[in-house]
Every structure is written in structure tokens, then in C-alpha cells.
């Protein structure tokens, strides 16, 4: 029933959902096209503060989410790819870049949505069954079109809300309770996981005349910034200390900025009245000015903040012997004791195996690039750990099936068992095929060419990134994340094919080092491609269309554990 309050409320919810989905779709398309390149090149450009700020702003502009950049950067810090101080500066730039995206979307671009929608649909449909980047460009175009459609509806609803005396009364009451207004918008932003969505919705309300109180407008902007700091902290709380240092440091920067601005909220809010442009544009400009102020104040303080956070978040000391299982019984005598959450315990042990394999790959990459085999003994110890954990997981999974579980848990246990067997095979390949390469080449007086090293580094980094994503799939068991992992498998196949072609081109050009390392280079590419397929196999079990794939192999393992 158009015109009623109920209809307008449902229209707001629908427009907000469409806006969030459009942001997510555009971000997914960008990550699938450029995610690997961003991850590989990001650490190398953070040598100066200005470069870190520009990189963060650019990444947030492309991904349309400073939260995505924060989680992405914390993962790099956890892997030791970037220092915490550079990550703090990068996130300051990311917040400003996200604000710029919001400013662009407030411009009169809504008439473009039919063209973007049609072009995006054509590209995505034509290239739906291919690995072409044009498919992802179509996804990006569709996402932006959805954002513009959502903003159009939000503008219409905002005008109706502005004409409602009840809504005006509620909003006006917030003008005398600015702390409540700030906390309300912080909670909304936290729940939406998108500062852009909430900021644009507020800008559309202000544009429609719902309020002209500069203090309330600024309080809402402060709440959006405060709420935007919360999701990365929650999402990385169980990660390594370096990851938490970055997101907590960024949150402290925002909290300090919000507190200072809140103390002087009325004089600072006076800026809104002197800014040029439409009310919605002025809202976003005020948001940009807040983030620029954070950059100016806290960029020089990034280094001392990093030192403070290093004392606050300390990496726990590693146990002398961490080979055995931690979350499931480690002996036949104790196997009869089943946890209250057995599938969760099993998943956590599989994550330990996955993390161990990731460490093996990282050490192997260091050995291949340096030509030094000093980490071979540690890699062999990790491979032993994988074997021990695999046997424990297999025994525990067999016991779970004997105790009786429901169909959904049985399917997940079967998938985890099959995946653990794949990881155990990966450990064998790393030790038997990759580990001897540096020593063999050293004995024969051979070495990789510089171009070959760069390509191997890129492939390994992509593989390690997929390992981290596979951990997220095991933990969350969400089809959306699994779909990204499966897509990365296709992307890696393309990368391997191109790398092999470039290597053959170097051979034809007579590059000496390429001739020397040809056999090892091509074999490593083939092995990495096989390893990546094993890493990504869990994605097919999570995706609805592939729930039954490969179950026979896992059933064989359960029926014949020895």
C-alpha cells in the first residue's frame, strides 16, 4: 500500500539491502580481478608514509570498503608481509578513500544506472562460463548500478520521511541527545559493516530536509566513523598479535578523534554551514574533513603507537612440542570422550593442519628464493606434525560416525576428513618434491633467473593467500566464501599457464639461468597447481551444487582407517 508508513519502512529496508548487496558485488568483482595483484604488490609500495596513505586511499576507493582493506591489511601483517606502523598509516588513507567514494556517489550519477545495469548484465552473461576478467567487470558494473538504484529509492523515501511530523519529532529529539545519536549511528554502521551505506542514507535524509541541525549532522558522522572501526577488530580478534595491533590502533585513532570532536561539537559543526554544495554533499565533505584531520594528526604518531601496541598485544610463546592435537583426543584410550561441540573441535584441528601446511609453503618459498636449504629440517618436522594430526582427525571422525550424528554434521565431517587427507598429501609433496630442489640446484651449480624468481614468488604468494582463504571456508562454512576460493583455483590455473609460457619464451631467447633451471621451474609450477587444487577442494564441498562430490573417497577412509 504505497504512501503508508509500513510501505515506506519496507522500502527503506529493501533499498538498504540493495545498497549493501551492490557494494558487496562490486567489491567481489574487484577482488577476483585484482585481489592477487594487490596482495602481491602492496608490501612493496609501503616504503614511505605518503605512499602508504595513497595506497590505502586507492585500495578503499577500488574495493568501496575501508573494512575490507582493514581485514586485508591485518592478514598481511599477520603473515609478516608489512610492518604494523605502515599498516596503521595505510588504514588512515583507506578511511579517507572510502569517504571519497561516498562523495562521488552523492553526485548526480543516478541516471547512469540503466546503462550500467544493461552493460553489466551483458558482460556477465556472455562470459559466465569463462575465466575472463570481463565477467568480473560485468559484476562490478551490476554492483554499481544496484548502488545507484538504491540511492534513487532512498532519495524518494527520504523525501517522504522528511514530510512526516512523527519522524521530524524523533530526529529533532536526537538534536538534544547528541551522545545517543552518535551511539545509534555507530551501532547501525557496525551492523551494516558499511560506512558508505549508512553515510549515504543519512546524507539522503539531510538532503530531504529531515534536519538542518549541524550538531546532529556531525554527531551522526562521528557515529559512522566509530562504528566503522568495530567490525575489523571483531573479525581479527583471534588472529595473530600483529593483525590485532593494526585494527585496534586504527580504532584508537578514530575513538580519539571522535572524543575530541564531540567535546567541541558545536563550533566544529559550524563548518557544515559554510561548506559549498547541496546538503547531502556537505555531509560527505564533513566526513572527508574528519578523516583528513585524523591523517594529519595521527600519521606522525604511527610509530610510537605501533610500539605501544607491541607491548599491549604480545605474541604468545610457542610450546616446545606442538605436534599433537589440541582440540580432539590424541590417543586411542581417550578417543571415547566426545566433546559437546565435536564438529567445531574437529574443524579447529583441521585449521591447525592448514596453518602448518601454510608455514611449510612459506619456508619452502624462502628456501627456493635464497637457494639455502637451512630450513629443511624444520619443514620436515612440520610434515611430521601434519601426519600426526591427520591420524588423530581420522580416528576422531571415525568415532563420531560410530556415535551417530545428524545428516548435516555427517556431511561436514566427511568433507573435513577428505580435506585433511588432501592436506596430508600436500605435506608429502612439499617434502618429497620441493624440499630437495635448492640443494640439488646448488650441487649442480644452477640457479633461477631473476624473472623466474619473481614468477615463483607471485605463484607462491597467491597459493599462500588461498590457504588463508581456505581456513576462512573451514571456519565459516559459507557458500559465498567457498565460491571465491573456487574462483581462485581457476585464476591460479591461468597464472600457472602464463608463467610456463613466459618461461618457455625465456628459453627460446637463450636466457642462461632459464636454461639451467628449466626442469625445476616447470616441475614447481605443476606441483603448485596440484597443491592449489587440493587447497581449494574444500570449496566444492561447501558450495550447494557440489555437496556430494568426492564422498566415496571419504567414506573409504572412514571404513578403512588403517
What residue segments make up the domains of the chain, in order of their start?
5-312, 342-559
Pair 49, 160: CB distance under 8 Å: no
Joined together, the cell numbers standing for residue 551 give 564422498
Q: What is the mean pLDDT of residues 129-145?
A: 81
Closest to 290 (Cα-Cα) out of 259, 251, 258: 258
Given a cut of 70, is residue 43 above it in pLDDT? Answer: no
Dihedral angle over CA of 345, 347, 353, 355, nearest 10: -110
pLDDT, tens digit, for every residue of 160-210?
Answer: 666 666 667 777 777 778 888 889 888 888 876 777 777 877 888 888 787
Pick the CATH number of 342-559 from 1.10.260.40, 1.20.1250.20, 1.20.58.220, 2.40.50.140: 1.20.58.220
Put residue 130 in one of left, alpha, beta given phi > 0 → left and psi -120 to 50 → alpha: beta
The position carrying cell 549515504 is: 200
Higher pLDDT, 195 or 487: 487
Q: Where does the pLDDT of residue 60 fall: very low under 50, low under 70, confident under 90, or very high at 90 and above?
A: low
Joined together, the cell numbers standing for residue 299 give 600519521
The number of C-alpha atoms within 13 Å of 278 and in the hemisphere containing its C-beta is 13
Q: Rounded to whole angstroms, how far apart are CA atoms 305 and 249?
A: 7
Given a cut of 50, is residue 559 above it in pLDDT? Answer: no
Taking every pair of Cα atoms in the chain, the longest distance, rounded to a whole number of angstroms, is 84
pLDDT of amino acid 171: 76
The position carrying cell 568426492 is: 550
Given a cut of 60, is residue 562 above it in pLDDT? Answer: no
Q: Which of 85-99, 315-329, 408-422 has the lowest mean pLDDT?
A: 315-329
Given a cut of 80, is residue 139 above it in pLDDT? Answer: yes
Q: pLDDT > 90: what percent of the chain? A: 7
pLDDT of amino acid 127: 82
Q: Rounded to whole angstroms, how far apart are CA atoms 432 and 505?
A: 29
Given a cut of 90, is residue 30 above it in pLDDT? Answer: no
Given a cut of 70, is residue 52 above it in pLDDT? Answer: no
Q: What is the mean pLDDT of residues 257-269?
A: 88
pLDDT, tens digit, for every residue of 243-261?
Answer: 788 889 988 999 999 999 9
Pair 248, 309: CB distance under 8 Å: yes
Q: Rounded to whole angstroms, how far apart are CA atoms 419 and 432?
A: 20
367 phi/psi in degrees, rounded to 5: -65, -40
DSSP 319: P
Joined together, the cell numbers standing for residue 408 give 548435516
Q: Where does the pLDDT of residue 273 fall: very low under 50, low under 70, confident under 90, or very high at 90 and above?
A: confident
Amino acid at each position: 500500500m504505497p504512501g503508508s508508513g509500513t510501505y515506506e519502512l519496507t522500502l527503506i529496508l529493501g533499498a538498504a539491502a540493495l545498497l549493501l548487496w551492490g557494494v558487496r558485488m562490486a567489491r567481489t568483482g574487484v577482488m577476483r580481478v585484482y585481489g592477487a595483484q594487490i596482495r602481491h604488490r602492496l608490501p612493496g609500495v609501503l616504503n614511505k608514509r605518503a605512499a602508504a596513505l595513497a595506497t590505502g586511499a586507492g585500495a578503499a576507493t577500488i574495493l568501496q570498503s575501508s573494512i575490507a582493506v582493514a581485514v586485508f591489511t591485518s592478514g598481511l601483517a599477520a603473515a609478516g608481509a608489512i610492518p604494523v606502523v605502515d599498516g596503521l598509516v595505510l588504514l588512515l588513507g583507506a578511511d579517507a578513500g572510502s569517504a571519497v567514494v561516498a562523495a562521488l556517489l552523492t553526485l548526480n550519477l543516478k541516471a547512469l544506472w540503466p546503462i550500467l545495469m544493461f552493460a553489466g548484465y551483458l558482460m556477465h552473461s556472455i562470459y559466465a562460463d569463462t575465466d575472463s576478467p570481463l565477467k568480473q567487470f560485468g559484476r562490478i558494473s551490476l554492483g554499481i548500478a544496484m548502488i545507484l538504484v538504491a540511492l534513487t529509492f532512498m532519495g524518494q523515501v527520504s523525501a517522504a520521511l522528511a514530510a512526516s511530523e512523527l519522524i521530524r519529532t524523533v530526529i529533532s529529539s536526537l538534536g538534544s541527545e547528541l551522545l545517543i545519536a552518535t551511539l545509534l549511528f555507530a551501532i547501525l554502521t557496525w551492523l551494516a559493516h558499511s560506512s558508505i551505506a549508512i553515510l549515504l542514507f543519512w546524507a539522503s535524509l539531510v538532503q530531504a530536509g529531515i534536519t538542518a541541525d549541524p550538531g546532529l549532522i556531525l554527531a551522526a558522522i562521528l557515529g559512522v566513523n566509530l562504528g566503522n572501526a568495530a567490525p575489523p577488530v571483531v573479525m581479527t580478534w583471534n588472529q595473530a598479535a600483529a593483525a590485532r595491533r593494526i585494527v585496534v590502533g586504527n580504532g584508537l585513532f578514530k575513538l580519539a578523534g571522535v572524543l575530541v570532536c564531540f567535546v567541541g561539537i558545536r563550533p566544529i559543526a559550524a563548518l557544515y554551514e559554510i561548506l559549498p554544495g547541496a546538503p547531502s554533499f556537505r555531509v560527505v565533505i564533513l566526513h572527508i574533513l574528519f578523516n583528513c584531520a585524523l591523517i594529519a594528526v595521527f600519521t606522525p604518531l604511527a610509530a610510537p603507537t605501533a610500539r605501544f601496541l607491541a607491548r599491549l598485544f604480545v605474541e604468545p610463546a610457542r610450546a616446545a612440542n606442538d605436534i599433537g592435537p589440541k582440540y580432539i583426543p590424541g590417543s586411542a584410550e581417550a578417543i571415547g570422550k566426545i566433546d559437546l561441540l565435536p564438529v567445531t573441535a574437529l574443524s579447529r584441528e583441521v585449521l591447525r593442519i592448514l596453518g602448518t601446511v601454510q608455514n611449510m609453503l612459506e619456508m619452502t618459498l624462502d628456501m627456493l628464493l635464497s637457494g639455502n636449504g637451512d630450513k629443511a629440517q624444520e619443514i620436515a618436522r612440520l610434515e611430521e606434525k601434519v601426519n600426526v594430526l591427520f591420524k588423530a582427525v581420522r580416528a576422531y571422525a571415525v568415532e563420531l560416525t560410530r556415535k551417530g550424528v545428524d545428516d548435516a554434521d555427517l556431511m561436514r565431517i566427511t568433507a573435513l576428513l577428505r580435506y585433511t587427507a588432501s592436506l596430508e598429501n600436500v605435506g608429502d609433496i612439499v617434502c618429497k618434491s620441493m624440499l630437495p630442489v635448492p640443494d640439488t640446484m646448488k650441487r649442480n651449480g644452477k640457479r633461477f633467473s631473476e624473472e623466474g624468481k619473481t614468477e615463483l614468488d607471485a605463484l607462491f604468494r597467491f597459493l599462500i593467500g588461498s590457504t588463508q582463504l581456505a581456513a576462512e571456508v573451514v571456519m565459516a562454512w559459507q557458500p559465498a566464501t567457498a565460491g571465491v576460493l573456487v574462483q581462485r583455483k581457476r585464476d591460479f590455473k591461468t597464472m600457472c599457464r602464463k608463467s610456463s609460457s613466459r618461461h618457455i619464451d625465456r628459453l627460446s631467447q637463450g636466457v642462461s639461468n632459464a636454461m639451467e633451471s628449466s626442469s625445476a621451474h616447470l616441475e614447481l609450477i605443476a606441483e603448485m597447481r596440484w597443491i592449489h587444487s587440493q587447497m581449494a577442494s574444500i570449496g566444492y564441498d561447501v558450495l550447494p551444487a557440489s555437496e556430494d562430490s568426492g564422498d566415496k573417497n571419504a567414506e573409504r577412509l572412514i571404513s578403512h582407517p588403517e
